[in-house]
Amino acid sequence: MNPLHLTILPGQLAICRRPADTSLPADLDRGPFFAYIRTPEELSIILPVENTPPDWQCERGWCGIKVAGPLDFSLVGVLHSLTAPLAQAGISLFAVSTFDTDYILVRRQDLDHARDVLSAAGHVIQ
């Protein structure tokens, strides 16, 4: 796999869990990154930490790393090229994919180490 070009997203994110039948509040999508996934079991929401309601079940303090895209759907191993070195370094992550690209989230306290690990794996981080 060729080196990937990565960008650190500004700010910190929260990964929140709500009951599956929860209506999505209209004002949550403020900020540079917002995503949600609804399954029969849950509604997961990723949003800027400052936008999280205090009574929600959330894991706060995540930082986003974006893979430059768009990525062709025929590419194989994109996430593996990121997750394998991070796993070997003991860094937990949360992955999110869109139509155009992939994102990984790492805990704020792991961001500098993750940056070093990904650079050592040959990726370019801006």
At 25, is the pLDDT very low, low, confident or very high (cuts 50, 70, 90)?
Answer: confident
pLDDT at 73: 86
Q: What pLDDT, in 10s, does the model give residues 27-80?
A: 877 888 999 999 999 999 999 999 998 999 999 999 999 999 998 888 888 999
Domain 5-125: what homologous superfamily?
A: VC0802-like (3.30.2130.10)
Angle at 89 between CA 36 and CA 70, to 5 degrees: 40
Angle at 36 between CA 31 and CA 41, to 5 degrees: 150
Q: What pLDDT, in 10s, does the model give residues 69-118?
A: 998 888 888 999 999 999 999 999 999 999 999 999 999 999 999 999 99
Q: Taking the CA atoms of 15, 31, 99 and 6 in sequence, report the sign of the dihedral they define.
A: negative
At 2, is the pLDDT very low, low, confident or very high (cuts 50, 70, 90)?
Answer: confident
At 24, is the pLDDT very low, low, confident or very high (cuts 50, 70, 90)?
Answer: confident
